Amino acid sequence: MRKIVQYFIIAALLLPAAAKAQFETARDSVVQLYGVIMTADSLVGIPAVSVVVKGQNRGTITNNQGVFSIVVLKGDEVEFTHVTYKSKTIQIPRNIEGNQYSIVQLMVVDTVYLPATIIRPRPTPEQFARDFVNTKVPDDNIEIARRNTDAAKRRVLLQTTPGDGGEATRMQFNKIANRAVYQGQTPPMNIFNPAAWADFIQAWKRGDFKNKH
Of 80 and 182, more confident: 80
Distances (CA, A) of 114 to 12, 44, 109, 203, 204: 69, 26, 16, 61, 62
Same domain, 43 and 101: yes
Same domain, 101 and 192: no
Q: In the chain, pLDDT over 90 holds for what percent of residues?
A: 31
- The range of the structural domain enclosing residue 161 comes to 125-206
pLDDT of residue 188: 67
**Per-residue exposure over 10-43, b if at least 16 CB sit within 10 Å of its own CB, e if not:** eeeeeeeeeeeeeeeeeeebebebebbbbbeeee
Same domain, 15 and 55: yes
Of 129 and 156, more confident: 129
d(CA 185, CA 178): 12
Residue 142 has pLDDT above 50, yes or no: yes
Residue 26 has pLDDT above 50, yes or no: no
User: Domain for residue 7, yes or no?
Assistant: yes
**Among the three residues 107, 141, 170, which one is the final residue of a domain in this structure?**
107
Same domain, 66 and 7: yes
- Counting the structural domains of the chain, the total is 2
- CATH number of the domain encompassing residue 60: 2.60.40.1120
Q: What is the pLDDT of residues 180-209, one digit of tens each?
A: 777 777 666 666 666 677 777 777 777 776
Amino acid occupying residue 35: G
Same domain, 43 and 84: yes
User: Domain for residue 196, yes or no?
Assistant: yes
User: Domain for residue 115, yes or no?
Assistant: no
Same domain, 49 and 93: yes
pLDDT of residue 141: 85
Same domain, 194 and 130: yes
pLDDT of residue 98: 85
Same domain, 9 and 36: yes
Same domain, 91 and 10: yes
DSSP string over 59-94: EEE--TTSEEEEEEETT-EEEEE-SSB--EEEE--T
Same domain, 14 and 76: yes
Residue 25 has pLDDT above 70, yes or no: no
d(CA 32, CA 193): 98
pLDDT of residue 127: 84
Same domain, 32 and 67: yes
pTM: 0.44
Residue 97 has pLDDT above 80, yes or no: yes
Residue 22 has pLDDT above 70, yes or no: no
User: What's the chain's average pLDDT?
Assistant: 79
Of 124 and 190, more confident: 124
Same domain, 159 and 84: no
